[in-house]
Amino acid sequence: MEEKNKTLSWRRMLPEEIEKRSFEIIARELGDRRLDPAQEPVIKRVIHTTADFDYVENLYFSRDAVPALKQAIRQGACIVTDTQMARAGINKKELARYGGEVLCFMGDEDVAQAAKENGTTRAAASMEKAAALDRDVIFVVGNAPTALVRLYELMEEGRCRPLGIIGVPVGFVNVVEAKELILGTDCPHIVARGRKGGSNVAAAICNALLYDMKNDGKNLEKKRGYQNDTGTVEKRYGGGDEGKG
């Protein structure tokens, strides 16, 4: 009875405080596990989104996937998702800084019609529509394995050359198999192996990349310093005669 009567203690916190505290808890529970520095922000944000530490082992990154995906974003690639939920969760303001936008064709009438006529899913038909875009594209799949399968087929047919793939559909039927297809491609990719994933995971990975790019920019500014009125370059940290180049 005493256990049942115990009340949990909590205090009001602002969103920024909650996020900061959450990442502190994640770091503490990871303990002495060493993560690849490029992959760490992605893995930690996915854990933050899901409270699932299995992603430390489940997330697979192809060689140089993170820098390749960042470069694709920098050059204005758009992101195509298979759900409106993923589209809603991706930070479109940050993406727009590089000229990109997030697209989802799942609700389009022509996609529904194509799926009906061809006897496929709307997710597969939406990949067909995306492949016809005359733009650089990163595909972000968080729900439908049929989207990944059709994307793989389009790549094999030479009809689609994505700059990157984030493949994290969730479920039981054809999910593992669809992900394994992407693992066998040369396209830069981040894949959640196994059954786990979801639109929230897809959005979290995109946001991790975007936020880390923002931090990359801040760190670059610190290293480069800034041009002052006298034409000399001073470091933002240090100052004085020592900071002049």
Catalytic residues, by residue number, are 48
Question: Around Cβ 243, how many Cβ atoms within 10 Å?
Answer: 16
Kindly report the three-state secondary structure assignment for every residue of 72-119.
Answer: HHHCCCEEEECCHHHHHHCCHHHHHCCCCCEEECCCCHHHHHHHHHHC
Reduced to 3 states, what is the DSSP secondary structure of residue 159?
Answer: coil
Q: Which tokens belong to 241? A: 């005669």
Is 181 in contact with 158 (CB distance < 8 Å)?
no
Going from the C-alpha of 99 to that of each of 63, 74, 117, 138, 219, the distances in angstroms are 26, 8, 35, 13, 22
Is 94 in contact with 118 (CB distance < 8 Å)?
no
User: Exposure of 244 by Cβ count < 10 A (0-12 exposed, 13-18 middle, 19+ buried)?
Assistant: middle
Query: Do you know the residue count of the chain?
Result: 245
Cα–chain-centroid distance for residue 18?
Answer: 21
Which is nearest to 48 in space by CA: 164, 204, 177? Answer: 204
Half-sphere exposure (CA, 13 Å, Cβ side) for 241? 0
